[in-house]
Chains A and B, each alone.
Chain A
């Protein structure tokens, strides 16, 4: 296939645009595509997927105003910025935005909320045990919430609204 602009070289960039619901295809060679300012995107990044997931979550929650207020004192991160590229600004953000991140973590990690892998040299096992005890009560609650939320999602997906209503009430009670 020939390039639509120079009509000399072979078209190697194939672009499909949807403008006002109408589909438009262009076939260009690399040089003309670059001149037209078409960036050649090679991979769909996981971050992009995640940002759209986050955006969807926020809309569903309808609590946007409440969430954008916090600012991390270390790196200046806000949930607003996070939503754009799904990247946090510093380790502290995991504390500051813990509540906002909870659902994202559940979704990304299949409901797991506690690290079970290796620990770096220099971090004592005792410190971990103490921390775990402190968190135990809270964690159990979090895990219950996570599993309820998951079951609720599933019930809604199955259109089992009776069960969904029950689960929603249980969730409210726990929260």
Chain B
């Protein structure tokens, strides 16, 4: 699989046909695993990391449960190529910038990724578009069992799967859902959401933006507790209670915007479209902010001439590494802003 094959198209999980996808962008489940009889990554020499990499790479590539998968030897790839994988949410920033032998096995459809020698020996993830956690769990559970039959995981009957950081101990599971919540933002209700998430031991963090700030009203909600819980239960809680409730609140907030002051809403959406259609220089921060408003406008039926797929595609393709790989050269921030504006104008006009 060549990376520029990926960089020109949108990820499969960014799919407008999947359940609740106007608000729930994607579902992801991650499992953290370590091999028994080996030290955790932070205490491993490069030789030991090499050995772990070899074992896990060969095991995963040989699984009959997976097809069309490719191994990426991360240190062999340029910074830009690593960034591309980060932007496509296939590997973590940590794996991209880490040290020593490490790699990733990625499915061509981008719905499965295994990171080797990240914080733990193995981090499996399965993704799906929209709200689809049950499906993700079945899939990742099968893959995890298949690997567990071939290698021996570090496991304690009392503490469960042993992980490098005690915050992942037990199930090693991180269930996360990416949400687009412009309605709650515009009606000033995000704080309420954050507080109730905290009460339920859930973590909310901004996505797409740098740092903790959420640019473009995209948020990732995930479980914090991994010990003393049952995987199926947490998946069910997310899928049947927590996320549907947030979706309901977001819809109510959007309805309120239409009823209370449609002019403010339409003004915001139309201005976003106007700037995106004509800007000559645009930062990723501004583009995200405006695309988010436009996405809300299209999903609420305020704008009909642009498809949601075009917007999803622009979210993906206007990210820094995507721009540079598709152009075939390294660009500084200003050159990227020019190219980003060009890409937006080409797609929207």
A residues whose Cβ falls under 8 Å from a Cβ of B: 9-10, 12, 29-31, 40-47, 50, 74-77, 85-91, 94, 101, 104-105, 108-123, 127-128, 131-132, 135, 139
Structural contact, B166 and A121, CB atoms closer than 8 A: no
- Bound complex: CA A104 to CA B165 (Å): 11
Structural contact, B225 and A112, CB atoms closer than 8 A: yes
Tally inter-chain residue pairs, CB-CB below 8 A: 153
Q: A44 — which chain B residues lie within 8 A by C-beta? A: 211-212
The answer to the question of B156 belonging to the interface, with a C-beta cut-off of 8 Å to chain A, is yes
Query: Could you list 20 further interchain pairs (A-B, Cβ under 8 angstroms) beyond the known A108-B166, A108-B169?
Result: A41-B211, A50-B165, A85-B42, A87-B42, A88-B42, A88-B165, A88-B166, A89-B39, A91-B40, A91-B154, A94-B169, A105-B227, A108-B225, A109-B228, A114-B158, A115-B159, A118-B171, A120-B152, A122-B152, A128-B157
Q: A115 — which chain B residues lie within 8 A by C-beta? A: 156-161, 170-171, 227-228
User: Chain A interface: which of B61-69, B141-149, B307-315?
Assistant: B141-149
The answer to the question of B167 belonging to the interface, with a C-beta cut-off of 8 Å to chain A, is yes
Q: B228 — which chain A residues lie within 8 A by C-beta? A: 109-116
- Which residue from chain A places its CB closest to the CB of B35 in the assembled complex? A91
Contact among B149, B156, B157, B169 with A122 in the assembled complex (CB-CB below 8 Å) = B149
Structural contact, B166 and A117, CB atoms closer than 8 A: no
- Bound complex: CA A9 to CA B39 (Å): 47
User: With A43-B93, A112-B225 given, is the CB distance from A90 to B283 under 8 Å?
Assistant: no
The answer to the question of B7 belonging to the interface, with a C-beta cut-off of 8 Å to chain A, is no
Structural contact, A91 and B162, CB atoms closer than 8 A: yes
Q: What's the minimum C-beta distance from B282 to chain A, rounded to whole angstroms?
A: 12
Structural contact, B165 and A91, CB atoms closer than 8 A: no
Structural contact, B43 and A77, CB atoms closer than 8 A: yes
Structural contact, A90 and B40, CB atoms closer than 8 A: yes
Tell me the chain B residues, 213-245 only, with Cβ under 8 Å from chain A: 224-231
Contact among B34, B36, B231 with A118 in the assembled complex (CB-CB below 8 Å) = B231
Contact among A12, A43, A117 with B333 in the assembled complex (CB-CB below 8 Å) = A12
- Bound complex: CA A57 to CA B171 (Å): 25
- Bound complex: CA A42 to CA B39 (Å): 28
Contact among B157, B224, B334 with A131 in the assembled complex (CB-CB below 8 Å) = B157
Contact among B119, B144, B153, B169 with A105 in the assembled complex (CB-CB below 8 Å) = B169
Q: What's the minimum C-beta distance from B271 to chain A, rounded to whole angstroms?
A: 22
Top 8 A-B pairs, shortest CB-CB distance: A112-B228, A115-B160, A89-B43, A117-B171, A131-B157, A109-B227, A120-B148, A91-B154
Q: Mark B82-118, 1 if CB is under 8 A from A, else 0.
A: 0000000000011000000000000000000000000
Q: What's the minimum C-beta distance from A3 to chain B, rounded to whole angstroms?
A: 10
The answer to the question of B187 belonging to the interface, with a C-beta cut-off of 8 Å to chain A, is no
Q: What's the minimum C-beta distance from A156 to chain B, rounded to whole angstroms?
A: 19
The answer to the question of B332 belonging to the interface, with a C-beta cut-off of 8 Å to chain A, is yes
- Bound complex: CA A111 to CA B227 (Å): 9
Contact among B94, B156, B211, B225 with A110 in the assembled complex (CB-CB below 8 Å) = B225
Structural contact, A117 and B39, CB atoms closer than 8 A: no
Structural contact, B43 and A76, CB atoms closer than 8 A: yes
